[in-house]
């Protein structure tokens, strides 16, 4: 049973090793370095697949884990011993497989996409470092070790978003992100990502420390086994809300979502790997990891205050998915549409986890979220990689520079179209099954507001997805494309995303069975948390019907304006009133608010404080004291007149005083 | 076991200083290597003793009878002072190597080395001594060479800045002396442990003012908020190798001394709730203030100086938490700040030496030309911000969890809010750090830096060594924490 | 009678101090110092008076003091002669360097 656990360690050690070896391999030769990096990524795939064999063994005593003492602080009531360990259970196995397989495919794709770029050593180093850290995050058995992975992926994300750090203005159309007064160079985008996620992490710290103070440990296994019950309810609720700040930041939910669209300044492979398939899912993973612990606490305590935790998670997810979806509807950049879409879909996952906590039938929401995580990773990575081919071919990231590519890039077109259908939730593809599970969970738990919100997001999703397909592949070619010879991407580039699309189709066709298999894998949770699963065919069909209707509702305008171009696409922007369009285009002004509330004031206050307070008041105080000393001394100096008679006077006076002291004070008055 | 090892640590550099003073003119630039050699020797002694520590119960006490009135000349090497002394020695070692190259065009290099070695002896003597009078002696010994070093080899208005530094710190030292005198008055001894025994029975009302007086001296040294004003000028205008020692090594000694003296001799004051709350508040203000000021700086050395103020706020935050893990954390912050800030100051020295500028606005786009420097800068700033896998993460993690723990036992909502604010304020460190990296290294390359390369090996090796050490300790901090915690547990 | 004598000594001392403190002529200052010395000597002698005899120690002190007073006067006058030779005046202003 335990023999395969070593792969839990190896899964993340191999890529980290690969990252360290990359500079050395680069000295040997470029090809050695490239293939070496991919090789280590492949080794991690092997390790995670080995772990996956557990899923098929049947009746495993979850969770399996292995640990050793990392460091110890003697005598301390908290954090006495901190262990490093790995935790293998269905959640981590599924997630780690998703990460490693998609990462490997993206590494292969990078061979073609990044060919000829400078700084490739740095690229491979950070990619492998990222994969290692992500797997470390997924497979950790305690929060502290997970934080190493968590912050590590944040660091790699920072470095890779700012990969084109030269910020050159000529490459604006390819390398920057945004336009107008929201145009950001890559290094700025990287900084923004890091700072926003770091702020989320600090909130996470606060929550974690509150839990730590009472529970004495941050080990997931120990927490699940009852340590969490030592935390009193009045402390647990704020603790979890703070704690949730970390996933909000890392998974780009409201209100910390603004870094993800700007993270598109990085190379497309980075966007695919980090910002679509893996890192942004880390927040969902953490919430899913904490879910059994929190659910058990909710069951144990009778108060309904703990329900607030789950409401919070659910509403944040639901609102985010809607808001981000609306922002995607008007976006002019290809990758930004996909970025907003990612935020929106992750919102679904969070919402599902939150809803799961509110009902007895939590398994639907929980498994729905994980299923959606899997299928989203597949189709979103495929979409990003295909988008990379498109951007590579046209040399621009703006959709108005594309158009009519269907006849030049057929394979890419079909892949992207299928993946988009999966994203929108067209039946028989995997996105449909996972999204429906989420909708089902929200309906059966009685959260009708969220259900309606989710349904309207389906409409929005469908609209922006098909708008994107229409703008890129249909219509007439835009002017710029004449300079590039438009041709299909090389095989090394389309093969990975074709595989991913095939995966999404397979998952979709077998969707019903996949769903049941997943629910079976998590049976142990149902047993320990007293959940139940009732399969209601009528309800499921009703939801399937509703969601397909919503897809169709979204599809129709997109078809008219963008695919068949029956009316000019520009007219669509007049369809919304221009104020609404600007509101959405300016990202509901959230971005502007953040800059005006946090960034500029900090610099302004700092400058003002420095000039007026530090230099004038504090420093002034010092010089004032010094000048006081000077003034005092110049006044006292007047005693020394230089006139001999005055000297003698003082001399005699001094003797007189000394005699008095001697007689009366030292010898005593008698 | 080496005979008289602790005494050797202090005496050997002084001896070498005398040698250099006598033969300096003959040796010329080579005296730098002499001081490097002596520091290397001292490093080996300390490492040897620290490695042996677990087997002798974690504390090595050497006592020499000196002046009966003052008490014995006692030197103590236990987990806490050992780690601090080791950090100081390592930093001094690295920076002496760095100075050889950096000061190559300066005159009176032999005098520089003499003062450098005396400065080092002062620092390490402060850390190792347990007798308050001896402590004060070394405290002053630390002060005078650094004053001369700033005044002679510094930049800008160096004499004025040196004088300001001297007077400010001296005023603090005098206040501390008043406190020491008060301690002597009520307990009749200068020795820390004897004071601890005798003060245990005294009421808090007497101990409070004495502890506060002594602490004020330390706060001046640590540059805690109202008393911080000497630091930006001193660090900015000091010669870079001395800044690299002043900032990480010396100001942290204030924190070490606060831990040692406060928790050994005045435990009733240290654990008092009001006292810890005031210290927590003060430390959060310092953290925030240092961080905000750092944003407004264009001069890179001033920016690093304000960053040091902020980091000392972190250290005080850990001290104020009055918990084992908080104290362990603040000492880890000392180590991590020491490593990172020394590296950063050395890097700013590279800019001053090779690129002849220290204004951030004149730098830009340097990453392709100086890759190793860029990586080291990034890693060091991340270490300050507390990002894993650097050792600064452990420091921040521990101080925050210690402070949070203390604000729940007993429950104190005001302190809890202060602690939460303190945790959130640490975003500023990440902010100015990464923003500075971006302004210096990213962006369009500037034409006038076309020929710039990574610095020479004498300057590069110390920088890289510090960075690598920070990473290694971050991944495997067990030796650090186990040594520290064994001693700290005894303080409770 | 004892007290009257002490009172007179006090009077002489005050007069001599007035002279020292006020006079601009160096020789007059020295004279004042001499008068002060004389009053102190008188003080010693008067203090030594006992009922029927005189305390020898007091008179010894007086004699020593007179001798020392003479030395002081001699030294002071020598310095003043030197000043006169250098500056041509015996006013205190000529040796003053620190101005108001």
Using CB atoms and an 8 Å cut-off, which of residues 15-74 of chain A contact chain B? 69-74
pLDDT of residue B249: 86
Whether chain A has a CB inside 8 Å of the CB on B372: the answer is no
Q: HSE-up of B173 (CA within 13 Å, CB side)?
A: 19
Q: Quote the pLDDT of residue A544.
A: 84
Q: What is the mean pLDDT of chain A?
A: 83
- C-alpha distances out from residue A513 to A500, A510, B262, Å: 19, 6, 67
With tokens 């959709």, the residue in question is A399
Check: CB of residue A187 under 8 Å from CB of residue A166. Answer: no
- Asked if residue C19 belongs to a domain, the reply is yes
Q: How far apart are the C-alpha atoms of B260 and B254, rounded to whole Å?
A: 10
pLDDT of residue A217: 80
Residue A483 has pLDDT above 60, yes or no: no
A669 has a pLDDT exceeding 70 = no
**Nearest Cβ partner of B435 from A167, A191, A618?**
A191
The confidence score (pLDDT) of residue A569 equals 59
For the residues A565-573, what does the mean pLDDT come to? 59
Token couple for B360:
């951030």
Put simply, whether B417 touches A (Cβ < 8 Å) is no
Q: Which of C92, C93, C94, C99 to mutate to test the interface with A (most CBs of A within 10 A)?
A: C92
List, for residues A493-548, the tens digit of each pLDDT value: 888 888 888 888 888 888 788 888 888 888 777 777 777 777 778 878 888 888 88
In the predicted model, is pLDDT for residue C57 greater than 90? yes
pLDDT, residue B1, reads 58
Considering only the beta carbons, identify the residue of C20, C98, C99 that sits closest to A648. C20
Are A80 and B328 in contact by the 8 Å Cβ rule? The answer is no
Residue C100 in any domain: the answer is no
Nearest CA to A535 out of A521, A524, A519 is that of A519
Residue B445 in tokens: 């390359």
> What per-residue confidence (pLDDT) applies to C2?
83
pLDDT tens per residue, range B31-59: 888 888 889 998 888 888 888 777 776 67
Q: How far apart are CA A530 and CA A523, in angstroms?
A: 10
Under 8 Å between Cβ of A453 and A442: no
Say whether the peptide bond before residue A255 is cis (omega within 30 degrees of 0).
yes
CA distance B211 to A12: 51
Q: Write out chain A residues lying below 8 Å of B420, CB-based.
A: 206
CA dihedral B284, B285, B287, B290 (to 10 degrees): 180
Residue C76 has pLDDT above 90, yes or no: yes
Cβ–Cβ below 8 Å for A641 and C23: no
DSSP of A110-153: HHHHTTT-S-HHHHHHHHHHHHHHHHHHHHBSBHHHHHHHHHHH
Q: Is the pTM of this model over 0.90?
A: no
Instruction: Give B 424-463 residues with CB within 8 A of chain A.
Output: 424, 426-428, 430-431, 434-435, 438, 441-445
| DSSP code, position B77 | E
Tell me, what's the pLDDT at C13? 92
Q: Find out whether B316 and B283 touch, Cβ atoms under 8 Å.
A: yes
User: Which DSSP helix (H) or strand (E) runs through A665?
Assistant: none
The token pair at B175 is: 């206040």
The conformational region for residue A244 under phi > 0 = left, psi -120 to 50 = alpha, else beta, is alpha
A485: pLDDT strictly greater than 70: no
Chain A contact set for B330 (CB, 8 A): none
- Residues in chain A within 8 Å Cβ distance of C98: 640-642
> Do residue A642 and residue C29 have CB atoms under 8 angstroms apart?
no
The answer to whether A109 and A492 are in contact (CB under 8 A) is yes
**What count of Cα atoms within 13 Å lies in the side-chain half-sphere of residue B424?**
12
| Helices B273-295 + B427-441 axis angle, to 10 | 20
Residue contacts between A and C (CB atoms, under 8 Å)? 29
Nearest CA distance, A142 vs chain B (angstrom) = 14
Q: To which residue do tokens 């004003």 refer? A: B229
Q: Do chains B and A touch (3 or more CB pairs under 8 A)?
A: yes
Residues of A with Cβ-Cβ distance to C79 under 8 angstroms: none
* Neighbour count for residue B187 (Cβ, 10 Å): 19
Please provide the distance, in angstroms rounded to a whole number, between the alpha carbons at the two ends of chain A: 99
Nearest to A72 among B367, B424, B481 (CB): B481
Mark out chain A residues that contact chain C at CB-CB < 8 A.
638, 640-645, 648-649, 652
Contact yes or no for A203 and B424 at CB 8 A: yes
Is chain C touching chain A, with at least 3 CB–CB pairs below 8 Å? yes
- Structural contact between residues A299 and A273, judged by C-beta atoms closer than 8 angstroms: no
The kind and range of the H/E element at B73 are strand B71-78
The helix (H) or strand (E) run that includes residue B383 is helix B371-385
In angstroms, the Cα distances linking B206 to B184, B210, B360 are 12, 7, 50
Residue B291 CA: distances (Å) to CA of B280, B316, B344? 16, 15, 16
Q: Test C96 with A643 for CB contact under 8 angstroms.
A: yes
Q: Which residues of A394-430 are buried (b: 16+ CB within 10 A; e: fewer)?
A: bebbbbebbbebbebbebbbebbbbbbbbbbbbbebb
Residues of A in contact with C24 (CB under 8 A): 645
DSSP at A670: -
Name the residue among C21, C95, C100 with its Cβ closest to that of A649. Answer: C21
pLDDT over 70 (residue A263): yes
Searching chain B, which residue's CA lies closest to the CA of residue A133?
B389
Residue C70 pLDDT: 95
Q: Residue ranges of chain B with pLDDT lower than 70?
A: 1-2, 57-58, 491-492
Please report, in angstroms and rounded to a whole number, the separation of the first and last CA atoms in chain B: 29
Question: Which has the closest alpha carbon to A158: A198, A128, A118, A119?
Answer: A198
Cross-chain Cβ contact B401/A152 below 8 Å: no
Q: What is the DSSP string of A394-414?
A: HS-SBGGG---GGGT-HHHHH
Cβ-nearest to A648 among C21, C97, C98? C21
Dihedral angle at the C-alpha atoms of A629, A630, A635, A639, nearest 10 degrees?
A: 90
C-alpha distances (whole Å) from C32 to each of C15, C18, C63, C72 are 8, 8, 20, 12
Q: If we measure between CA atoms, which residue out of A102, A101, A150, A133 comes closest to residue A16? A: A133
Interface contacts A/B by beta carbons within 8 Å: 155
**A202 inside 8 A of chain B by CB:** yes
Cβ of C95 within 8 Å of Cβ of A644? The answer is yes
pLDDT at C75 over 90: yes
d(CA B491, CA B264): 6
Q: What whole-number distance in Å separates Cα of residue A8 and Cα of residue A452?
A: 41
Report which of residues C66 and A333 the model is more confident about: C66
Task: Tell me the C-alpha distance between A485 and B410, whole Å.
Answer: 72
Chain C residues within 8 Å of chain A (Cβ atoms):
17, 20-24, 29, 92, 95-100
DSSP code of residue B296:
T
Q: How far is CA A519 from CA A138, A362, A371, B59, in A?
A: 20, 11, 10, 58
Pairwise CA distance, residues C62 & C68, whole Å: 10
**pLDDT at A357 > cutoff 70:** yes
B307 and A CB contact within 8 Å: no
Chain A residues touching B388 at Cβ < 8 A: 147-148, 151-152
> What pLDDT is stored for residue A469 in this prediction?
86
Closest chain C C-alpha to A606 CA, distance in angstroms = 49
3-state secondary structure C23-39: CCEHHHHHHHHHHHHHH
pLDDT at A624 over 80: yes
Overall average pLDDT of the A568-573 stretch: 58
Domain with C25, as residue range(s), is: 2-95
Q: Please measure the distance between the N-terminal and C-terminal CA atoms of chain C and give it in whole angstroms.
A: 47
Nearest CA in chain A to C14: A652
Residue that the structure tokens 């949070």 belong to: B404
Read off the CATH number of the domain in which C19 is found.
1.10.287.3510
ipTM above 0.95, yes or no: no
- Residue C34's pLDDT is 94
Strands A81-88 and B71-78: unpaired
**Is the peptide bond prior to B389 cis by the omega test (within 30 degrees of 0)?**
yes
Q: Is residue C29, in this structure, part of any structural domain at all?
A: yes
The confidence band for A484, taking pLDDT boundaries of 50, 70 and 90, is low
Q: Is B74 helix (H, G, I), strand (E, B) or coil?
A: strand
* A309, A357 Cβ separation under 8 angstroms: yes
Given a cut of 80, whether residue A575 has pLDDT beyond it is no
Give residue-wise pLDDT tens across range A96-108. Answer: 888 989 999 999 9
- What value, to the nearest 5°, has the Cα angle with vertex B472 and ends B469 and B475? 150
Other beta carbons within 10 Å of A450: 27
Interchain contact, B401 vs A78, CB within 8 Å: yes
Q: Which residues of B56-90 are buried (b: 16+ CB within 10 A; e: fewer)?
A: eebbbebeeeeeeebbbbbbbbbbbbbbbbbbbbb
The Cβ-side half-sphere exposure at A337, using a 13 Å CA radius, reads: 27
Number of domains in chain C: 1
Give the gap in angstroms from C-alpha A663 to the nearest C-alpha of chain C. Answer: 17
Please identify which residue in the block is written with the tokens 């050992």: B82
> Which whole number is the average pLDDT over A305-318?
86
Which residue is associated with the tokens 């087997």?
A: B55
* Contact present, B321 and B402 (Cβ < 8 Å): yes
- A602 neighbourhood in chain B, CB within 8 Å: 292, 295, 428, 431
Parse chain A into domains and list their residue ranges: 304-580, 586-639, 643-670
Residue A199 near chain B (CB below 8 Å): yes
Contact B430 A198 (CB under 8 A): yes
> Chain A closest CA to B202's CA: distance in Å?
27
């Amino acid at each position: 049973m335990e023999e395969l656990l070593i792969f839990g360690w190896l899964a993340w050690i191999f890529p980290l090793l690969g990252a360290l070896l990359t500079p050395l391999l680069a000295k040997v030769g470029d090809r050695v370095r490239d293939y070496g990096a991919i090789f280590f990524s492949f080794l991690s795939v092997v390790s995670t697949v080995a772990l996956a064999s557990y899923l098929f063994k049947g009746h495993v005593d979850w969770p399996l884990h292995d640990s050793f003492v990392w460091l110890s602080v003697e005598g301390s009531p908290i954090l006495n011993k901190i262990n490093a360990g790995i935790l293998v259970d269905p959640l981590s196995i599924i997630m780690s497989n998703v990460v490693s397989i998609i990462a490997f495919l993206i590494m292969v794709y990078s061979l073609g996409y990044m060919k000829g770029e400078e700084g490739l050593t740095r690229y491979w180093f950070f990619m492998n470092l990222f994969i290692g850290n992500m797997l470390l995050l997924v497979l950790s058995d305690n929060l502290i070790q997970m934080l190493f992975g968590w912050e590590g992926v944040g660091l790699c994300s920072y470095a890779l978003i700012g990969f084109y750090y030269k910020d050159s203005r000529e490459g604006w159309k390819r390398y920057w992100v945004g336009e107008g007064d929201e145009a950001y160079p890559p290094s700025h985008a990287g900084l923004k990502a890091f700072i926003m996620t770091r702020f989320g992490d600090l909130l996470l710290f606060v929550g974690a420390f509150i839990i730590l103070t009472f529970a004495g440990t941050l080990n997931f296994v120990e927490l699940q086994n009852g340590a969490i019950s030592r935390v009193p309810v009045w402390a647990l609720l704020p603790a979890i809300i703070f704690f949730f700040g970390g996933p909000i930041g890392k998974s780009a939910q409201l209100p910390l979502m603004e870094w993800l669209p700007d993270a598109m300044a990085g190379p497309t492979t980075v966007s695919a790997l980090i910002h679509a398939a893996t890192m942004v899912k880390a927040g969902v993973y953490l919430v899913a990891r904490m879910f059994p612990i929190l659910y058990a606490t909710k069951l144990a305590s009778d108060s309904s205050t703990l329900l607030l935790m789950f409401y919070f998670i659910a509403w944040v997810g639901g609102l985010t998915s809607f808001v981000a979806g609306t922002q995607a509807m008007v976006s002019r950049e290809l990758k930004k549409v996909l970025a907003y879409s990612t935020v929106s879909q992750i919102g679904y996952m969070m919402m599902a986890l939150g809803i799961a906590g509110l009902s007895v039938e939590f398994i639907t929401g929980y498994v729905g979220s994980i299923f959606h995580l899997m299928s989203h990773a597949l189709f979103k990575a495929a979409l990003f990689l295909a988008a990379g081919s498109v951007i590579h071919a046209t040399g621009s990231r703006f959709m108005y520079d594309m158009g009519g590519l269907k006849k030049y890039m057929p394979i890419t077109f079909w892949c992207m179209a299928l993946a988009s259908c999966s994203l929108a939730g067209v039946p028989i593809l995997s996105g449909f099954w996972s999204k429906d599970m989420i909708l089902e969970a929200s309906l059966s738990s009685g959260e009708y507001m969220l259900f309606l919100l989710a349904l309207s997001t389906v409409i929005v999703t469908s609209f922006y997805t098909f708008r994107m397909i229409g703008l890129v592949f249909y219509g007439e070619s835009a002017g710029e494309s004449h300079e590039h010879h438009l041709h299909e991407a090389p095989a090394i580039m389309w093969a990975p995303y074709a595989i991913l699309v095939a995966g999404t189709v397979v998952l979709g066709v077998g969707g019903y069975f996949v769903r049941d298999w997943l629910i079976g894998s998590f049976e142990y949770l149902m047993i320990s948390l007293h959940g139940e699963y009732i399969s209601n065919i009528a309800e499921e069909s009703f939801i399937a019907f509703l969601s397909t209707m919503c897809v169709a509702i979204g599809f129709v305008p997109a078809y008219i304006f963008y695919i068949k171009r029956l009316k000019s696409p520009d007219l669509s922007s007049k369809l919304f009133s221009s104020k609404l369009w600007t509101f959405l285009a300016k990202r509901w002004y959230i971005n502007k608010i953040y800059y005006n509330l946090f960034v500029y004031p900090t610099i302004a206050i700092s400058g003002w404080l420095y000039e007026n307070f530090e230099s004038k008041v504090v420093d002034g105080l010092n010089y004032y004291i010094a000048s006081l000393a000077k003034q005092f001394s110049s006044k006292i100096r007047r005693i020394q007149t230089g006139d001999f008679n005055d000297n003698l006077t003082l001399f005699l006076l001094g003797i007189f005083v000394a005699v008095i002291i001697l007689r009366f004070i030292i010898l005593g008055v008698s | 076991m080496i005979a008289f090892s602790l005494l050797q640590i202090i005496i050997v550099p002084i001896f070498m200083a005398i040698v250099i003073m006598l033969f300096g003119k003959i040796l010329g630039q080579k005296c730098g290597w002499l001081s490097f050699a002596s520091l290397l020797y001292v490093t080996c002694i300390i490492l040897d003793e620290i490695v042996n520590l677990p087997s002798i119960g974690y504390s090595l006490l050497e006592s020499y009878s000196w002046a009966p009135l003052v008490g014995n000349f006692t030197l103590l090497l236990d987990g806490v002072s050992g780690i601090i002394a080791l950090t100081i020695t390592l930093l001094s070692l690295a920076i002496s190597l760095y100075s050889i190259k950096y000061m190559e065009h300066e005159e009176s290099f032999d005098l520089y080395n003499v003062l450098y070695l005396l400065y080092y002896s002062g620092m390490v003597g402060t850390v190792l001594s347990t007798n308050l009078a001896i402590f004060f002696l070394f405290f002053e010994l630390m002060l005078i060479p650094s004053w001369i070093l700033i005044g002679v080899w510094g930049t800008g208005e160096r004499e004025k800045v040196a004088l300001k530094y001297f007077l400010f710190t001296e005023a603090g030292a005098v206040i501390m002396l008043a406190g020491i005198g008060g301690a002597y008055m009520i307990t009749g001894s200068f020795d820390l442990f004897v004071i601890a025994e005798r003060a245990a029975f005294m009421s808090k009302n007497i101990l409070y003012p004495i502890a506060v007086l002594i602490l004020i001296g330390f706060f001046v040294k640590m540059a805690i908020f109202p008393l911080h004003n000497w630091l930006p000028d001193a660090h900015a205008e000091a010669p870079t190798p001395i800044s690299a020692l002043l900032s990480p090594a010396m100001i942290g000694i204030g924190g070490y001394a606060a831990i040692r003296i406060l928790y050994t001799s005045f435990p009733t004051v240290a654990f008092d709730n009001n006292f810890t709350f005031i210290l927590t508040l003060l430390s959060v203000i310092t953290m925030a203030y240092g961080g905000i000021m750092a944003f407004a700086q264009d001069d890179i050395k001033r920016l690093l100086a304000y960053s040091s103020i902020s980091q000392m706020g972190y250290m005080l935050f850990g001290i104020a938490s009055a918990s084992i893990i908080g104290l362990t954390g603040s000492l880890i912050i000392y180590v991590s700040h020491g490593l990172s800030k020394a590296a950063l100051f050395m890097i700013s020295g590279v800019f001053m030496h090779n690129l002849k500028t220290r204004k951030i606005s004149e730098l830009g786009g340097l990453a392709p030309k100086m890759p190793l420097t860029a990586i080291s800068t990034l890693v060091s700033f991340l270490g300050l911000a507390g990002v894993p896998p650097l050792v600064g993460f452990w420091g921040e993690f521990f101080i925050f969890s210690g402070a949070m723990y203390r604000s729940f036992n007993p429950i104190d909502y005001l302190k809890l809010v202060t602690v939460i604010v303190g945790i959130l304020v640490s975003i500023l460190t990440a902010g100015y750090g990464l923003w500075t990296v971006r302004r210096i290294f990213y962006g369009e390359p500037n034409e006038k830096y076309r020929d710039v390369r990574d610095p020479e090996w004498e300057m590069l090796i110390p920088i890289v060594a510090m960075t690598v050490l920070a990473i290694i300790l971050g991944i495997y901090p067990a030796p650090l924490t186990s040594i520290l915690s064994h001693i700290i547990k005894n303080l409770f | 009678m004892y007290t009257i004598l002490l009172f007179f000594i006090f009077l002489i001392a005050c007069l001599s101090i007035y002279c020292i403190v006020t006079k601009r002529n160096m020789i007059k200052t020295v004279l004042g110092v001499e008068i002060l010395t004389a009053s102190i000597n008188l003080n010693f002698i008067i203090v030594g008076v006992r009922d029927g005899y005189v305390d020898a120690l007091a008179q010894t002190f007086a004699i020593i003091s007179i001798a020392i007073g003479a030395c002081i006067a001699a030294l002071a006058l020598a310095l003043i002669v030197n000043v006169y030779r250098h500056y041509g005046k015996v006013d205190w202003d000529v040796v003053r360097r620190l101005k108001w």
